[in-house]
Amino acid sequence: MMIFFWISLVIISLAIAAFIYRVIVGPTIPDRVVALDTIGVALICMIGLISILADTSFYLDIILLLAILAFIGTVAFSKFLEKGVIIERDRNSKE
């Protein structure tokens, strides 16, 4: 049983190596953002398997935290690509 989880950790790390290849090679910036987002998702899988292997459930908070951070990072970066700013100023305010 534990051997299976070790093997799946190795497979996920190979998949992360493929994503890192796309981050380095990727011809445009959105490619790199997509690959980084997917690296976050694969890290979530790794943390789940590691918490099985370490026989504790204290790591499971990190899963939720990492999911939220990956989503916020992707949305912020794509808003920067689309509009040039992340947090816009209000156009109607008198500043």
Partner 1 sequence: MEILKNSLIILTTSIGLVFIVVTAVGLIRLPDVYSRTHAASKSATLGVMFILLGVFLHFWLIKDEVNTRLLLGIAFLFMTGPVGGHVIGRAAYLSGVPMWKHSVKDDLGPYLKEQKKAHRQSID
**Interface with partner 1 (CB under 8 A):** 1, 4-5, 8, 11-12, 14-15, 18-19, 21-22, 28, 30-31, 33-35, 37-38, 41-42, 44-45, 48-49, 51-52, 57, 60-61, 63-64, 67-68, 70-71, 74-75, 77-79, 81-82
How far is the C-alpha of 24 from the C-alpha of 33, rounded, in Å? 11
**Do 35 and 22 meet the contact criterion of CB atoms below 8 Å apart?**
yes
For the bound state, the minimum distance from the C-beta of residue 88 to partner 1, rounded and expressed in Å, comes to 15
* Alpha helix (H) residue ranges in the chain: 2-25, 29-53, 60-83
